[in-house]
A and B are shown apart, each in its own frame.
Chain A
């Protein structure tokens, strides 16, 4: 759905560099999520946010930082990228707790 967009879609970066993945949604959804997807691990929650200025850790938060100063944006920053952070990253949003979540198209990140 065009209502949630991620950028960049594809990124190659070097070990140790800082990388920020952007996520923007136009629905004014309260909840936003960041998941990473790796073969054999399904979708693992990195961080999520219940509202602007409220964020909380998911299953695999180490090495990542998030912020949510505005309802519509939820950037994910890798402060010092490592090869183990090579993955597909999905941003998602939901109107409320336990409601349908809508995923972005994904950001393919390779750390070399």
Chain B
């Protein structure tokens, strides 16, 4: 079935350092969504990418969708302690069913 691999699983950075998480699929994706979950909280939508090669920015966050629409990345510039949490990518399962599958998530820890 549709699977999306997300790496790394964990990342510890010093405050001010950059951070990147990647999602990879073996099949072409119609779109990809990114969510953030703070410790003890629930996932919250960040952004959706639809077009091949699309790049979107939200302040210090940069989201990219690969040219082949099989991979995506989330890059955070100059991390802050408020960036702590788990970042998930999510993709629609093939078959036009509306089934939304999540990657395993990348948990970011930021040392002040």
Contacts and interface: CB of A to CB of B under 8 A. Distances in A.
Interface of A: 31, 33, 35, 40-45, 48, 50, 56, 58-59, 90, 94, 96-98, 100-106
A108 B31 CA distance: 31
A105 B42 contact: yes
B57 to A, nearest CB: 18
Contacts of A31: 98
A92 to B, nearest CB: 8
B68 interface: no
Interface residues of B, number: 24
Which of A40, A98, A101, A106: most chain B Cβ within 10 A? A98
23 contacts: A35-B102, A40-B104, A41-B104, A42-B6, A42-B88, A42-B102, A42-B104, A45-B101, A48-B98, A48-B99, A58-B99, A59-B1, A90-B42, A90-B43, A94-B100, A96-B98, A97-B98, A98-B30, A98-B98, A102-B45, A103-B44, A104-B42, A106-B42
Which of B33, B42, B43, B101: most chain A Cβ within 10 A? B42
Main secondary structure of the interface of B (DSSP, over half): loop
B107 to A, nearest CB: 10
B1 A103 contact: no
Interface of B: 1, 6, 9, 30-31, 33, 42-45, 48, 88, 90, 92, 96-105
A50 to B, nearest CB: 5
A97 B1 contact: no
B97 A56 contact: yes
Question: 6 nearest interchain CB pairs?
Answer: A97-B98, A42-B104, A43-B102, A103-B42, A42-B105, A100-B45
